Structure 1
Amino acid sequence: MFVGILLVALIATVGIRNVVPADALAPAIVTLLFGVAALTAGFALLCRRDRFRVMWFDLAGGLTFIGVVISVLIEPDQMIRLLTLSDQPE
């Protein structure tokens, strides 16, 4: 299941590569991973069986860890370009 979710994230990354600028690709991937991890943790809270609940929490933790690792690759200049208005001089 973990491999399936990562495969879906990879396909989504290839899909949004044409939509967002190259500088915004890493933050978009990280946001996608954090969002999927949050949904997975929410599903784990709804699960009633302890064995499956731990599995879903492990999956959410793994996705969060991968998101944190990828966020290390984001340079601060990329985040500044994402947050500033395009008509303002740098």
Structure 2
Amino acid sequence: MQQQAAAWKQAGVPDHEIAARNFEAVLASAKQARQMLLPQHRIYEAGTSKEEQDALMDKALASYDQVIEQLSVLIQRTRIHVVEE
């Protein structure tokens, strides 16, 4: 990500846009990680009940949903803030 940001900076991309693009990369990673917590992708470990593991993964899924929502808002605000200036 740092190399890409340096390339964008050298190409004259404004700092706020570089920040938004970096947030978009993190957002894409969060969405990808979230997919692995969906029921059809779950892998269960021995020693803990399926119900307990499901509850933990559902809690993690809710956390990812919050992160994804907040990153989306952050990206939008980063771009809107600069347009208003």
Same fold (TM over 0.5): yes
Q: TM-score, normalised by structure 2?
A: 0.56
Q: TM-score, normalised by structure 1?
A: 0.54
Root-mean-square deviation (CA), in Å? 2.6
Identity %: 8
Indicate the structure (1 or 2) with the bigger Cα radius of gyration: 2
Question: What does residue 33 of structure 1 align with?
Answer: 30
Cα distance change of structure 1 residues 61 and 75 upon mapping to structure 2, 3 Å threshold: same
Question: What does residue 64 of structure 2 align with?
Answer: 63
Unaligned runs of 5+ in 1: 1-15, 79-90
Question: What does residue 50 of structure 1 align with?
Answer: 51
The amino acid of 2:37's aligned partner reads: T
Unaligned runs of 5+ in 2: 9-17, 80-85
Give the aligned length.
Answer: 62
Which protein, 1 or 2, shows the higher relative CO under an 8 Å CA cutoff with sep ≥ 6?
2
Moved over 3 A (4+): none
